Amino acid sequence: MQSLENRVLWLTAAIAIIAFSGCISSDPVDDTAGHTPVATEEIADVGAVQAKTSVEEVKTPIAELKAEPEPPAEARAVPEPEVKPKVDISKKKMTFETVDISALYNASAVGGEKGIDGHGNAYPADKLPRGKAVSFGGDLPEGLVFSMPNYQEAEKNVITADGQTIKVSADTYCAIFLLTAATNSSQMARMKLGYVGAAAGADEMLKVSDWCGAPKFGEIEAAKYDRVSGENEAAKCRLFVQVVVLEADKKLEAITLPVNANMLIFAVTLAK
């Protein structure tokens, strides 16, 4: 009886062992059960996309860091031209030297068919001063004189500016005093000052007021006349003195006048 029971127990144990052994498999467990399988190529594509996106995210801000464009030429800072030191004549005791310009006279200030202005008007011959050392006084520096011709209607006695060069004795002067006036409105044009040893002349803007108006460029009125000869005898006319201050410590040897026929040069005096 006991032997039968033992057999039953052993049989039961054997069945249990066999049943347990059937639940164990040598195949790997499928963890993807219930999930959609993903191909290896798709995983590789996803990695490539992520890598590309990362590169673009880095490149984008770099592309935006462009160099600032240069400002247009007119907006760039232009260096100031070098300012040459000039003589201070405000408190200087000056001596004067007249310049003979008679060889350059090319017009008459007192007559001619068209007058000095091209409209039949001219200075009155009987009013203009004449002589080698004419002083106008007034607000002009003490001792300043000009060399003036003997005016006769048929003679040439004034320069209309046409680029003529006035040669002077090379020396260190402080200023040029021009006895001048302009016709057909006030005039501005560049003259050149020739200094010893300079390759090119120094530009200087010459400004001259209209002969029948008040001075407007800082000139000194040297003379004023009640009339002009010609068609408009009631008009008043003037002579002005314009001062050109020279560069310090340089020797002047030539003055080249502007090319402007409406500028009249009656006389030139240099100051030291």
Residue-level pLDDT at 153: 61
Instruction: Indicate whether 54 belongs to any domain.
Output: no
Instruction: Indicate whether 235 belongs to any domain.
Output: yes
Q: What is the mean pLDDT of the chain?
A: 78
Report how far residue 107's alpha carbon sits from residue 116's, in angstroms, rounded to the nearest whole number: 8
Residue 85 banded pLDDT, cuts 50, 70, 90 = low
Residue-level pLDDT at 108: 92
The residue among 33 and 174 whose pLDDT is bigger is 174
Residue-level pLDDT at 18: 53
Helix (H, G, I), strand (E, B), or coil: what is residue 178? Answer: strand
Is residue 272 pLDDT above 90, yes or no?
A: yes
Q: What is the pLDDT of residues 211-246, one digit of tens each?
A: 999 999 999 999 998 767 666 666 789 999 999 999
Residue-level pLDDT at 81: 47
Q: Counting Cβ atoms within 10 Å, is residue 91 exposed (0-12), middle (13-18) or buried (19+)?
A: exposed
Phi-psi region for residue 215, left (φ > 0), alpha (ψ -120 to 50) or beta? beta
Q: Please report, as a single letter, which amino acid is at residue 249.
A: D
Rounded to 5°, angle at Cα 264 from 200 and 225: 150
DSSP 127: T
Is residue 86 pLDDT above 70, yes or no?
A: no
Q: What is the pLDDT of residues 103-161, one digit of tens each?
A: 999 999 987 778 898 888 899 888 899 999 999 998 899 999 999 998 876 589 999 99
Instruction: Indicate whether 53 belongs to any domain.
Output: no
Residue-level pLDDT at 38: 46
Q: Look up tokens 């004023």; give the residue.
A: 224
Instruction: Indicate whether 158 belongs to any domain.
Output: yes
Is residue 101 pLDDT above 90, yes or no?
A: yes
Instruction: Indicate whether 25 belongs to any domain.
Output: no
Half-sphere CA count of 60, side-chain side, radius 13 A:
6
Instruction: Indicate whether 137 belongs to any domain.
Output: yes
Residue 12 banded pLDDT, cuts 50, 70, 90 = low
Q: Please report, as a single letter, which amino acid is at residue 111.
A: G
Interval 8-16 mean pLDDT: 58
Q: What is the pLDDT of residues 171-198, one digit of tens each?
A: 999 999 999 999 999 999 999 999 998 8
Interval 82-91 mean pLDDT: 58
Residue-level pLDDT at 25: 46
State how many domains the chain has.
1
Is residue 1 pLDDT above 80, yes or no?
A: no
Instruction: Indicate whether 101 belongs to any domain.
Output: yes
Range 245-270 burial, b when 16+ CB lie within 10 A, else e: bbbeebbbbebbbbebebbbbbbbbb
Q: Counting Cβ atoms within 10 Å, is residue 46 exposed (0-12), middle (13-18) or buried (19+)?
A: exposed
Report how far residue 142's alpha carbon sits from residue 135's, in angstroms, rounded to the nearest whole number: 9
**Domain assignment of residue 177, given as a range:** 96-271
Q: Look up tokens 């209209």; give the residue.
A: 210
Instruction: Indicate whether 22 belongs to any domain.
Output: no
DSSP for 241-272, written as a single string? EEEEEPBTT--EEEEEPPEEEEEEEEEEEEE-
